Amino acid sequence: MDRKPSRAGQADRRDRPFGGGRGSGGSEQRRKPLPPEKTHAEEYYYLKQMNAKTPMVVVLADGEELHGWIEWYDQHCLKVHRDDGPNLLVFKRHIKYIIKDPAAESGA
């Protein structure tokens, strides 16, 4: 028994590759736009900490901790101002994470 498809375009559906369904022709116009590459959240955070001269702890990838405040930053590095030693220019790729200094927050 040879059955006819109930919809007009269903007959050639078997010939199409997977995923080449209904919206493949004009779906480019209806696609969601990509999220922005830069959200400026990092810049906002650095500027906020720089203006307040917030004591920070910069933990490097090897576990070393640098205590000071962020004096300057750019796309690839931070300048950490320290009272107990020379100021340091640290590449961001070597930073594991940055936190507010808990010792300075507790008033010690």
pTM, entire model: 0.63
Distance, in Å, from the CA atom of 22 to the CA atom of 39, rounded to the nearest integer, reads 34
Please count the helices (runs of H) and the strands (runs of E) in the chain.
2, 5
Residue 41 to residue 79: CA distance in whole angstroms? 19
Q: Go through the domains of the chain in sequence order and give each one's CATH number.
A: 53-105 (2.30.30.100)
**What pLDDT was estimated at residue 20?**
53
Residue 47 in contact with residue 55, Cβ under 8 Å?
no
pLDDT digits (tens), the chain, 108 positions: 677 666 665 555 566 566 555 555 555 578 888 888 888 899 999 999 999 999 999 999 999 999 999 999 999 999 999 999 999 999 999 999 999 999 887 775
Looking at residue 27, its pLDDT comes to 53
Q: Quick one: DSSP state of residue 95?
A: E
SS3 of 69, please?
A: strand
pLDDT at 19: 57
